[in-house]
Amino acid sequence: MHGAHDFLKALAMVLCVAAVTSVIFQRLRQPIVLGYIIAGLIIGPHVPIPLVADSAIVQTLSELGVILLMFSLGLEFSLRKLFQVGPTAGITAVIQCSLMVWLGFVVGRAFGWTPLESIFTGAIIAISSTTIIAKAFAEQGIQGKLREIVVGVLIVEDLIAILLMATLTAVSSGAGLSAGQLTFTIGRLALFLVGLVVVGLLVIPRVVRFVHRLERPEMLLVTSMGICFAIALLAQEFGYSVALGAFLAGSLVAESGKEKDVEHLVEPVRDVFAAIFFVSVGMLIDPALIAQHWVAVLVLTLVVIIGKLVGVGLGVFLTGNGTRTAVQSGMSLAQIGEFSFIIAGLGLSLNATGQFIYPVAVAVSAITTLTTPFLIKAAGPVANLVDRKLPKPLQTFAALYGSWVEGLRTAPPQKTMGARIRRTLRLLLLDAAMLAAIVIGTSVSLEKLTATLENRGGLGASVARLLVIGLASVLAVPFCVGIVRLAHSLGELLADLALPPGAEGKLDRAAAPRRALVVTLQLGSLLLVGAPLVAVTQPFLPGFQGAAVLLVQLVVLAVGFWRSATNLQGHVRAGSQVIVAALASQSQPRSTGEKGHGEEQLKTLHAILPGLGEPTPVRLESSSPAVGRTLAELNLRGMTGATVLAIQRGEGEAVVPTAQEVLRAGDVLALAGTHDAIDAARAVLETPRSPEAVAP
């Protein structure tokens, strides 16, 4: 039990050293989080500096920082907003976590670690740090869609972490994890979340509104903090993380409509304890252990940064959020944090891992914590570079794909089509489950089945073994083929919803866009099912057979995708010519206040040219920052995701633009992309320049 003196001494030491380092880093124009981590290194037990704080006390205080940060994050994301980003967050988190678990296992085995240690390594690097990202986003003032997607992914990752810990506990104890036990774990988690949300929605918003009407800020603060810690404690009692409980508490308080007032009151308290959390991370850094295991730390750090960039970027892009948002999301989530410590500690407590796993996890977390602010800051320029380096067909596809997914989301519900999609999805998941069962069952029972064939069939050991593996392969082939076929069927059904085919016997003007969409959705479905399948079966396979099969299928689809993207490029070029002709056939009015006939004509082209989104006209005024710049210099597609299909210029003149097209005042740009992308492009094009910039 710690005395009051020890508690006060540790708190004073942490805050005083953190204050000095944070001021220094602020003056150096570096992220303050780095200053907190350096403060932790200074007062930690591993550096010979005569300033040492009690690690246990600091660790206890840091838990408050996690709770308050997650509560503040929940205040910004009501339950309705969370449900809006749910599909994107779910798909992205599943792809990313599956990829990282597989990579972690492969790296662990390459270093000669045991299969169980390698599985724990995969789980450790799979979950990003909500606390680190929340602080980095707050420092850099990142808001909007990017923040919503990243936070949604983090919440789904926390739920996946809970399932991973339950699975690892069962496997490490030797009891194994049956399908019934896994179903029970998932059902219990779902019941807890639904029960908490339903009861919370009935009670908490009313309580917060009642206290707010009393117009006593201190009462509102105390009530909100009480709700936060009570729900965090409730989550812990049920065996879940306090971070999940605190986030849900914030979301429930946000439903009251008074979240801004609560956030303003909580902010100073949150910042103090958040600083303590990052100091506690710094105290865990042991330079001697990092030096001892520097190769593993370096490799896993690179795997975390590159793997999460690829996994998150793919998931976010496939859900229709554009290249820029995909790259920014991937670079934002390229770190591990508090859940990694919990999983590493779980491995130690179960005697499933060696002592080296925990310090390696801490070192990787510390390094990626240091790199996260810089990666977030560099995400915009990197996204622009990626967009510029993409081949022209992929640039065109990326600009239009988001509008197709947007059309899919807003398509009116159809009972028959919806039932077919759900049935195809169920069959797809069933085939994946059967394939996993065959692989795992064969691996677990291989020796027993081999011995049975030896004894009863009189076969040699090697022949019997090959026969068992051959029979299992024959059984697995129909399910592999079924997954590919069902993924294609699902892609066709979803593509027909987004881009409905025309009447039979008539020219299908959306054929090229639909083909590209079908292949992309098939790729996404295969990746969404195949990535978890490979991650689950990898520990039961001697090599990389599962990953190789998935890779071959993805490469075959990638070839088909490239052909579709090339055809799409020709379709868009032809469509741009049609738009140019439509614009050129209309006379441009002289009055700047009157809308041109060309712009009206542009709005009717969506029905004639499906697959090009809804071409939207934007007129450039003389004060626009785009005037006098080329499209390459403006980088409109890289910044916003919208692309310029055609330009109307003057009386009866219209052009299909190139990257070197210089924009002029009075030009009407035909923009294509999602509604968000077009709104962002409009904001860029219509923001007036300063008078000095306009003057010659």
Average pLDDT over residues 324-332: 89
Question: Residue 282 is inside which H or E element, if any?
Answer: helix 259-283
For residues 89 and 267, the answer to whether their CB atoms sit within 8 Å is: no
| Cα–Cα distance for residue pair 677/633, rounded to 1 Å | 18
Q: Are 72 and 267 in contact (CB under 8 A)?
A: yes
Q: 4-23: per-residue pLDDT in tens?
A: 777 888 888 888 888 898 88
Q: What span, in angstroms and rounded, lies between the C-alpha atoms of 37 and 283?
A: 8
Element (H, E) at 688: none
Between CA 533 and CA 649 the distance in angstroms is 54
Q: Please, are residues 145 and 676 in contact by the beta-carbon 8 Å criterion? A: yes
pLDDT at 312: 92
Lowest mean pLDDT, pick from 41-45, 363-367, 578-582: 578-582
Contact 518, 491 (CB under 8 A): yes
d(CA 87, CA 83): 8
Is the predicted pLDDT of residue 681 greater than 50, yes or no? yes
User: Range with the lowest mean pLDDT among 270-284, 368-382, 430-444, 454-468?
Assistant: 454-468
Residue 643: is its pLDDT beyond 70?
A: yes
Q: Which amino acid is at 527?
A: L
How do 654-655 and 616-619 pair as beta strands?
unpaired
Quote the mean pLDDT of the chain.
80
Q: What is the pLDDT of residue 584?
A: 64
Residue in 267, 298, 461 with CA at minimum distance from that of residue 367: 298
pLDDT-derived band at 300 (thresholds 50, 70, 90) equals very high
End-to-end alpha carbon distance in the chain: 74
% the chain with pLDDT above 90: 6
pLDDT for position 298: 92
> Does residue 232 contact residue 245 with C-beta atoms inside 8 Å?
yes
Residues forming a β-bridge with 630: 662
Q: How confident is the model at residue 135 (pLDDT cuts 50, 70, 90)?
A: confident
Question: Which segment, 48-62, 277-291, 482-496, is predicted with the most confidence on average?
Answer: 482-496
For 55-101, what is each residue's pLDDT tens digit?
778 877 777 877 887 788 788 766 676 677 778 888 899 999 999 99
Determine the angle formed by the axes of helices 338-349 and 357-389, rounding to 10 degrees. Answer: 140
| The two three-digit tokens of residue 22, written as one number | 């944070």
The yes-or-no verdict on residue 354 having pLDDT over 70 is yes
Model confidence band, residue 506 (pLDDT cutoffs 50, 70, 90): low
Residue 248 has pLDDT above 80, yes or no: yes
Mean pLDDT of 469-496: 88
DSSP helix/strand/coil, 616: strand
With contact defined as beta carbons under 8 Å apart, do 327 and 146 qualify? no
Asked whether the predicted pLDDT for residue 223 surpasses 80, the reply is yes
Confidence of residue 263 (pLDDT cuts 50, 70, 90): confident
Amino acid at 247: F
Q: Find all residues with CB under 8 Å of 537, minimum gap 6, and list them.
A: 436, 439, 440, 546
Q: Which pLDDT score is estimated for 592?
A: 42
Q: In this predicted structure, what is the pLDDT of residue 691?
A: 43
Cα–Cα distance list, 438 to 39, 83, 341, 470 (Å): 52, 35, 34, 12
Task: Please report the pLDDT score of residue 502 as a whole number.
Answer: 66
Of the listed ranges 54-63, 366-375, 574-583, the least confidently predicted one is 574-583
Mean pLDDT of the region 212-217: 86
- Determine the Cα angle at 254 with ends 250 and 255, to 5°: 125
pLDDT band at 579 (very low <50, low <70, confident <90, very high): confident
Which two three-digit tokens encode residue 149?
Answer: 């997607």
> In 144-241, which ranges are continuous DSSP H helix?
144-172, 179-213, 217-237
Give me the mean pLDDT over the 436-447 stretch.
82
Q: What share of the chain is helix, strand, coil (3-state, %, to 5)?
A: 75, 5, 20
pLDDT of 307: 92
Q: What's the DSSP call for residue 3?
A: -
Question: Among residues 93, 89, 87, which one has the least CA distance to residue 532?
Answer: 93
pLDDT, position 504: 62
Q: How many CB atoms lie within 10 A of CB 606?
A: 15
Question: Which pLDDT belongs to residue 308?
Answer: 93
pLDDT at 97: 92
**Cβ 435 vs Cβ 514: under 8 Å:** no
Which of helix, strand or coil describes residue 668?
A: strand
Check pLDDT > 90 for residue 293. no
Between 267 and 522, where is the model more confident? Answer: 522
What is the Cα–Cα distance from 16 to 419, expressed in whole angstroms? 62
| Residue 205 CA from chain centroid, whole number | 29
Which of 174 and 75 is assigned the larger pLDDT? 75
611: β partners: none
Helix (H) or strand (E) holding 646: strand 643-648
CB 571 within 8 A of CB 512: yes
Query: Residue 305 pLDDT more than 90?
Result: yes
CA distance 266 to 72: 8
CA 496, CA 407: separation in Å to the nearest integer?
Answer: 11
Q: Is the pLDDT of residue 462 over 60?
A: yes
- Torsion of the alpha carbons at 257, 261, 265 and 266, rounded to the nearest 10: 30
Which segment of 477-491, 543-557, 661-675 scores lowest on mean pLDDT?
661-675
- Residue 99 is predicted with a pLDDT of 92
Statement: residue 695 has pLDDT above 60 = no
Higher pLDDT, 319 or 3: 319
Residue 67, token pair as written in the block: 């709770």
The CA distance from 270 to 573, in Å, is 54
- Residue 201 tokens, joined: 């929605």
Structure confidence by residue, pLDDT tens digits, 393-441: 888 888 888 888 887 877 777 777 878 888 988 999 898 888 888 888 8
CB 599, CB 668: distance < 8 Å: yes
Q: How far apart are CA 573 and CA 569, in angstroms?
A: 6
Once rounded to an integer, what is the mean pLDDT over residues 546-574?
Answer: 84
Helix (H) / strand (E) containing 669: strand 668-672
Q: What is the mean pLDDT of residues 169-180?
A: 62
133 within 8 A of 148, measured Cβ to Cβ: no
- Of residues 584 and 254, the one with the higher pLDDT is 254
583-627: per-residue pLDDT in tens? 666 544 444 444 444 455 555 555 566 677 677 777 788 788 888
Rg, Å, the chain Cα set:
28
Task: Please state, in angstroms and rounded to a whole number, the distance separating the CA atoms of residues 32 and 26.
Answer: 6
CA nearest neighbour of 376 among 147, 96, 180 = 147
Looking at mean pLDDT, say which of 7-16, 182-191, 458-467 comes out highest.
7-16
